[in-house]
């Protein structure tokens, strides 16, 4: 049972990796927050994920980036 709990917890933690990087808890992930977890993300990559151009990724933008394979799922 403990193993199953650990597996489920690991699955939940990897389900939405970018949200875990919302360091200030504002519901948005900035370039700085994303690069802290994914150092290979470039400004160009971030800009292509930031479809509304506001300088931060919202829930929909992160979901789209994961679906497009730009962020790990």
Residue 73 falls inside a structural domain: no
Q: What is the reported pLDDT for 36?
A: 92
Q: What is the reported pLDDT for 63?
A: 93
Q: Are strands 56-57 and 29-30 parallel, antiparallel or unpaired?
A: antiparallel
What's the domain range around 19? 2-67
Q: What is the reported pLDDT for 3?
A: 53
Return the bridge partners of 30, or none. 56
Closest to 70 in 3D by CA, of 34, 36, 45: 45
d(CA 37, CA 20): 9
> Which pLDDT tens digits describe the chain residue by residue (73 residues)?
555 444 433 443 444 455 567 889 999 999 999 999 999 999 999 999 999 999 999 999 999 999 999 998 7
Residue 6 falls inside a structural domain: yes
Q: What is the CATH number of the domain that holds 33?
A: 1.10.238.10
Q: Please tell me the pTM assigned to this model.
A: 0.72
Please tell me the total count of domains within the chain: 1
Q: What is the reported pLDDT for 73?
A: 77
Residue 72 falls inside a structural domain: no
d(CA 42, CA 49): 11
Helix (H, G, I), strand (E, B) or coil at 21: helix
């Amino acid at each position: 049972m403990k193993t199953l709990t650990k597996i489920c917890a690991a699955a939940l933690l990897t389900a939405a990796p970018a949200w875990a990087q919302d360091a200030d808890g504002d519901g948005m992930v900035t370039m700085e927050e994303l690069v802290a977890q994914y150092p290979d993300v470039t400004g160009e990559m971030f800009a292509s994920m930031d479809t509304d151009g506001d300088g931060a990724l919202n829930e929909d933008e992160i979901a789209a980036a994961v679906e497009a394979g730009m962020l790990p799922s």
